[in-house]
Amino acid sequence: MLKNLLKKVPRKPRFLLADDEADVRFLLREYLTTLGLAAEEASDGQEALRIFEKKGPFEILVTDLVMPGLDGLSLIRRIKEKEPETMILAMTGYARDYGYVDVVAAGADDLIQKPFSLEEFEARLARLLREWKLKEELRALSIRDALTDIFNRRYFEERLIEETHRALRQGYPLCLFMIDVDHFKLYNDTRGHQDGDVLLKTLAEILCGCTREKVDQPFRYGGDEFVVLLPHTDIEGARKVAERILNSFRKAGFSPTTLSIGIAKLIPREDVRRSADDLVRRADEAMYRAKRSGGDRVEIDPESLKN
């Protein structure tokens, strides 16, 4: 049952197993391994929280409710605060102390009583996976731009914070492109909206083709504006990618349109949010300098060149 279900999920979920009983963790991990699923183990709630923050987020948390230190209910609440989409299966051998309603109110998706058979665990897990699969499918629709099929602005704002946090924490460079199509309104008015749509879809394909798959992230920001996040890329590397995009668009034959590209590098500010907002502002200003200079060019944020 589970193997067939796993063939239909968009990606394999990662598991975090939290239980102070080593035998329980071992059995569950061995079972998940036979299904080709990765799992991390934690012997108490505090360790589970540390692993979640360091290696997460995890798609599914399986946790005991009675553990030393940070108990299961507190762990569930903390995990849901950090990652509301994580599916949670709670376990307990103290059924009289924990009611289903209380556990679900804390944020768990299901409750299983110890001791349980692998067949019962599989049935509960299958239910969670079906719900997770549906959420993933709905999420995939919600984060894609309908016209170009690349990520949309909503997802950009989510990824921007995540990438900024990771880059600041790990100390690697992060660059951002702000891209605007010059003379797009004129092109739309003279050629028609269908041709305008073809231009936007072609530009999205160029962005995907000129950047690293599963590393760099192109997004449609709105209208004829696009953005690209480039982790592990310094200003010189970003400039080369931007020039490649510019040249590819020139060859695509959408005259009189051209591209104005602004580049900025992440500079640490007071916190993650201010750092992210500052990155967008400087890339946007660089893009508008390119437009004021006639377009068809790349402009680099001056502050990024100093840092």
Q: What is the pLDDT of residues 41-82, one digit of tens each?
A: 999 999 999 999 888 789 999 999 999 989 999 999 999 998
**Selection from 222, 49, 251, 239 nearest residue 148 by Cα:** 222
Which listed CATH number (2.40.160.20, 3.30.70.270, 3.50.50.60, 3.20.20.70) goes with 153-306? Answer: 3.30.70.270
User: Regarding predicted confidence, which is higher, 291 or 131?
Assistant: 291
Greatest mean pLDDT range, 64-73, 89-98, 119-128, 240-249: 240-249
Place of tokens 């719900």: 131
Give the residue-averaged pLDDT of 125-139.
86
Cα gap 192→85, rounded to integer Å: 42
Tell me the pLDDT tens digit for each residue of 244-280.
Answer: 999 999 999 999 999 999 999 999 998 999 999 999 9
Q: What pTM, to 2 d.p., does this model score?
A: 0.68
Instruction: With cut-offs at 50, 70 and 90, classify the pLDDT of residue 1.
Output: low
What are φ and ψ of residue 231, in 5° steps? -70, 155
Distances (CA, A) of 128 to 107, 124, 165, 259, 268: 13, 6, 29, 46, 39
**Percent residues over pLDDT 90 in the chain:** 75
Query: What pLDDT does residue 76 have?
Result: 95
Q: Look up the CATH superfamily of 2-142.
A: Response regulator (3.40.50.2300)
Place of tokens 């006639």: 294
Cα gap 272→81, rounded to integer Å: 18
Instruction: With cut-offs at 50, 70 and 90, classify the pLDDT of residue 10.
Output: low
* Domain residue limits, the chain: 2-142, 153-306
Predicted confidence (pLDDT) at residue 5 exceeds the cutoff of 90: no
Query: What pLDDT does residue 57 have?
Result: 83
Query: What pLDDT does residue 102 have?
Result: 83
Instruction: With cut-offs at 50, 70 and 90, classify the pLDDT of residue 93.
Output: confident
Query: What pLDDT does residue 72 have?
Result: 92
Sheet architecture: strand order including 87-92: 39-42, 15-18, 60-64, 87-92, 110-113
Catalytic positions: 224
Q: Chain-wide mean pLDDT for the chain?
A: 92
